[in-house]
Structure 1
Amino acid sequence: MPSARFTGVQTVAIPVQDQDAALAFYTSTLGLEVRFDAELQAGFRWIDVAAPHAPTSLALVRAGNGLSAGIDTGIRLTTPDASAAHTALTEAGADVGELLLWETAPPMFSFRDPDGNTLYVTEVPPG
């Protein structure tokens, strides 16, 4: 039997209660750009946001029907300066965890969006 051949990850869904509030947070606070925002059918709005030039987007999907908000998404966003990102999110009033500075790992921290979904930030040097 032939095996499936996958070449990447296009979109990861994040369940949210209020798509407008989530959209404001992910664009204004996190600086992501809107890639797609449309009502595909009555009551079903699809929103994709992403870091500029990033191949993978985040879909802000409405929670419900067994899809709960307030989850640990496991999503790792990257930045060239975790300390600066930590300061910026803290100053913006985001629910930010401790900046972790371990010898054997890059600087990183977690944060929660307005729905309590946990995401992570990891420092990746440019280039």
Structure 2
Amino acid sequence: MEISTVTIPVSDQETALAFYTGPLGMGIRTDNPFPMGRWLTVAPEGSTTTLLLASWFPEMAPIGGLILTAPDLDDLAGRLRSAGTTADGPADAPWGRQLLFQDPFGNGYVVSQS
């Protein structure tokens, strides 16, 4: 068994797409019509797990604690801040280096150094 897709609640798919493909550098995996909007998934290059940017769950609370990895946290923090996103870190912790941020919809992420 494998996790293939994680649903990320967003209120605006265009804004979400710009954020996830812009400062986060993810690629579009699918962008297809869907009865309730678009079936829009993104993922980092080489990842088998995609993020579904879903706007049809207005009652779904933002998620928190999704953990990503990146090879250069300083570069990622700079890209996030340049895009107007508040990023906490990178900082060293007993378990490794990490960066914390939220997307424009309040979904919280932890990025650890890969």
| TM-score normalised by length of structure 1 | 0.80
Give the fraction of aligned pairs with identical amino acids, expressed as a percent.
33
In 1: Cα distance, 2:63 partner to 2:4 partner: 19
Change (3 A) 1:73 1:63: farther
C-alpha deviations, 1:94-127, integer Å up to 9, x for none? 121232212x222101111111211121101xxx
C-alpha deviations, 1:35-58, integer Å up to 9, x for none? 0011222x3321100001111110
1:110: which partner in 2?
A: 100
Higher strand share: 2
1:47: which partner in 2?
A: 40
1:100: which partner in 2?
A: 91
Superposition misfits of 4+ residues, deviation over 3 angstroms: none
Unaligned runs of 5+ in 1: 1-6
Unaligned runs of 5+ in 2: none
1:17 aligns with 2:30: no
Say which is worse superposed, 84-93 or 24-33, in terms of deviation. Answer: 84-93
C-alpha deviations, 1:74-95, integer Å up to 9, x for none? 2111111222222222223212
2:78: which partner in 1?
A: 87
1:57: which partner in 2?
A: 50
In 1: Cα distance, 2:112 partner to 2:56 partner: 27
Contact kept? 2:27, 2:43, Cα under 8 Å? yes
Number of residue equivalences: 114
What RMSD, in angstroms, separates the aligned Cα atoms of the two structures? 1.6
Change (3 A) 1:79 1:44: same
Q: Which has the larger radius of gyration?
A: 1
1:121 aligns with 2:111: yes
In 1: Cα distance, 2:12 partner to 2:2 partner: 29
